[in-house]
Structure 1
Amino acid sequence: MKNLAQLVVALLAFWAVVLMVAPAGAEAATCNPLQLTPCAGAIIGNAAPTAVCCSRMNEQRLCMCQYGRDPNLKQYVDSPNGKKVMAACKVPVPSC
């Protein structure tokens, strides 16, 4: 039960960060970290990435450098789980 509570808190924190840094204007159509919320369980927890997660990850693959430079998102892009999700979804880990 403690692990479930920690996962819920982590997911809420992740979504709060994503909401704070969501781009506005023209960039919102292409780079939108909110599109990666289906990957939260895999990146923050230890869940396997879903088909929806991989689809979104592939759609956002060109944005990974931008996300990696954002201090609020960098920890997720650079995390071991973030890299595992990218690998599982066949998204190249950015070398920015």
Structure 2
Amino acid sequence: MKASYIAWCAVMVILLAEAVEVSTAVTCSPTQLSSCVSAITSSSPPSQLCCSKIKEQKPCLCQYLKNPNLKKFINTGNARKVASTCGTPFPKC
């Protein structure tokens, strides 16, 4: 019985470890989105780098939208299109 209890505990630990999502802190820096400028200001498709930066900075987008200086660039149809093309839904803040 003791061995089965230990085995059961080991299985639970493994299952719980798989369920826990490791999160890393994101440093919010709008300059990280500079690779997206050409895609946002024109009709060119976003680069792979742009898409990775949008995904990386996703937790910061609401913060950027609250900044009047950044909002005029981020809250545009083209920016929404770029985010959508990159598979990152535009946030509802």
Same fold (TM over 0.5): yes
Question: Which protein has the larger Cα radius of gyration, Structure 1 or Structure 2?
Answer: 2
Q: What do you get for the CA RMSD once the two structures are aligned?
A: 1.0
1:8-47 alignment to 2 at 5 Å?
30-47=27-44
1:17-57 deviation digits (Å, cap 9, x = unpaired): xxxxxxxxxxxx61000100000000111110000000001
Amino acid at match of 2:35: P
Percentage of identical aligned residues: 43
2:87 is the alignment partner of 1:93: no
1:73, 1:57 → 2: CA distance? 14
Return the match for 1:70 from 67, 70, 79: 67
2:54 is the alignment partner of 1:57: yes
Give 4+ residue runs of structure 1 displaced > 6 Å after superposition.
none
2:38 is the alignment partner of 1:48: no
Question: 1:93 deviation in Å?
Answer: 0.7
Amino acid at match of 1:78: N
2:88, 2:74 → 1: CA distance? 12
1:87, 1:51 → 2: CA distance? 13
Amino acid at match of 2:63: Q
2:64, 2:31 → 1: CA distance? 11
Structure 1, unaligned stretches of length 5 or more? 1-28
Give the TM-score of the pair, scaled to structure 2. Answer: 0.70
- Equivalent residue for 2:22? none
Question: 1:74 deviation in Å?
Answer: 0.5
Question: 1:77 deviation in Å?
Answer: 1.6
